[in-house]
Amino acid sequence: MEGPLGKIYSLPIALLLIIGALLSAFLFYSMMKSAESGSLIMVILLAIAISIVALVIGQAIKFQQFKKL
């Protein structure tokens, strides 16, 4: 696969899960800090960012599983 996500899709699944978990944890921590300071827009944007990270990681794992077949 070519394009900007080509390198992500070629990483091993275990590494994808570790990167996704670390990135999601950081974004979730940032979201909680924004909630404490009362910034509703940042909370919404960070929740969307967490969803995007989960979507990309899920698509990469699905792509690798189909590639094995």
Quickly state the pLDDT bin for 65 (edges 50, 70, 90).
confident
Domain that holds residue 42: 34-63
**Can you give the pLDDT at residue 67?**
78
Whether 22 is covered by a domain: the verdict is no
Q: What is the 3-state secondary structure (H, E, C) of the chain?
A: CCCCCHHHHCCCHHHHHHHHHHHHHHHHHHHHHHHHHCCHHHHHHHHHHHHHHHHHHHHHHHHHHHHHC
**Count of domains forming the chain:** 1
Task: Please indicate, yes or no, if residue 45 is contained in any of the structural domains.
Answer: yes
Whether the CA torsion 9, 13, 16, 20 is positive or negative: it is positive
In a domain, 11, yes or no: no
What pLDDT, on the 0 to 100 scale, is given for residue 30?
97
Residue 28 lies in a domain: no
pLDDT tens by residue, 12-62: 889 999 999 999 999 999 999 999 999 999 999 999 999 999 999 999 889
- The whole model's pTM is what? 0.83
Rounded to a whole number of angstroms, the CA Rg of the chain reads 14
